[in-house]
Every structure is written in C-alpha cells, then in structure tokens.
Amino acid sequence: MSVETIQPWLAHRPRRGATHIDTVVLHATPCENVSSAVAQLKSQGLSYHYIIDRTGLSHKCVPYSAVAFHAGNSYGPHEAARGTSKQQDAHFNFVELTSVNEYSIGISLVNDNDGADPYPREQIDACIGLIKELAATLKSLKYVTTHSLVSPGRMTDPVGIDIVRISQQTGLDIWLPEQ
C-alpha cells in the first residue's frame, strides 16, 4: 500500500502514558483534494492521522503514536466504563467535554459528505487496507466507528460510508453508542 507523508506534520501532541489505541474514527473532509484539506486543517489547528484521496492514495498527516485533533468533543468506547455522562448541551456538546482523540486514530476520506458524492471503490479499498495494516501493527485495535457516532447531533460525517463492509473486511467491531 502506498502512503505519502505530509511534512511538516499537522497539529498534534504526545499521547498520555501507556495509552492503548483501540479505535479508528472515520471522517469525511469536504474539500476538492488533499492539499486543500491540509490547508483547511492547518488554518483551524485540526488534524487527522491519515487522509485518503479519491484515487485511494493515503496521506499520513500525524504519526499514530501521537494524538491528532480530529474528533473534538466526543463520546466513544471508554467513556461509559469511566462513568462519563452522555448528557449534551443545546449545541450537542457533551457537558463533561470528553474526547476519543486520546485512544483513537482518525482517518478521513475526501468526500463532499452530502450523501450524493460516492466513495470510489479505490478509496474504500485503500481505507480497508490501511486499517488492516494498522491492526497488524497495533494489536490493541478493536473498534471502527464514525465521527457522527462519537459526536451525535453535532457531526454527520462520513455520510453514506459502508461501515458494515469496512468492519467485516478489517475484522474490527463497529462501535455504536449505547441507547
């Protein structure tokens, strides 16, 4: 699999302690291409570990050993066990200001995120291949989820992605919020 590295790295910070990275959060970036996505992320101080363009080329933006700033105020697989409240304010932010960034890898696919823009086969195949490669290195990877699932009401991406196919082909469980 071909992966190009973005230099310099996008915004990030070291992970705390002995963090077990066990979750992949999928996103969609509504930009024309990776260059415009990177420019937009830089201007906002945000980042993903990887961005996959429409042709299936993966771009590494932050080392997975670091925290990327991709999910913001979010609630994932560890928050219930920690006793973190799922209460959200009027803007759909979790009131305890929780985030999955510490224990996740953020992968974004260039897509309009409108439900009409399809994800090309090459892009999905690259996503699946990348997750498989990460899982081979990071034996702790267990879950795949989406930005809309960890930030319900606040985020919609990636609209129309086949998370079931991605889960089946990578062997990761889909993380869904408890009802």
Q: What does the pLDDT read at residue 129?
A: 98
Q: Token digits for 103?
A: 């224990």
The stretch 160-171 carries a mean pLDDT of 97
Grade residue 93 by pLDDT with cuts at 50, 70 and 90: very high
Q: Which residues, at least 6 apart from 172, have a Cβ–Cβ distance to it below 8 Å?
A: 24, 131, 135, 141, 142, 143, 144, 166
Q: What does the pLDDT read at residue 56?
A: 97
Which letter does DSSP use for residue 70 in this model? -
Domain 3-10+20-174: which topology? Lysozyme-like (3.40.80)
Residue 179 has pLDDT above 80, yes or no: no
| 3-class secondary structure, 36 | helix
Q: What is the pTM of this model?
A: 0.97
Distance CA 134, CA 153 (A): 29
Burial 124-152 (b: 16+ CB within 10 A, else e): bebbbbbbeebbeebeebbbbbbbbbbbb
The stretch 75-95 carries a mean pLDDT of 92
Instruction: Provide the β-strand partners of residue 14.
Output: 66
Per domain, the residue ranges of the chain are 3-10+20-174
Asked whether 173 and 149 are in contact (CB, 8 A), the reply is no
At 12-33, the pLDDT tens digits run 999 988 789 999 999 999 999 9
Q: How far is CA 152 from CA 1, 105, 172, 177, in A?
A: 32, 18, 21, 9
Distance CA 66, CA 101 (A): 10
Element (H, E) at 28: strand 23-29
4-13, 70-79, 81-90, 102-111: range with lowest mean pLDDT? 81-90
More confident residue, 30 or 80: 30
The stretch 107-113 carries a mean pLDDT of 98
At 37-62, the pLDDT tens digits run 999 999 999 999 999 999 999 999 99
Residue 118 has pLDDT above 80, yes or no: yes
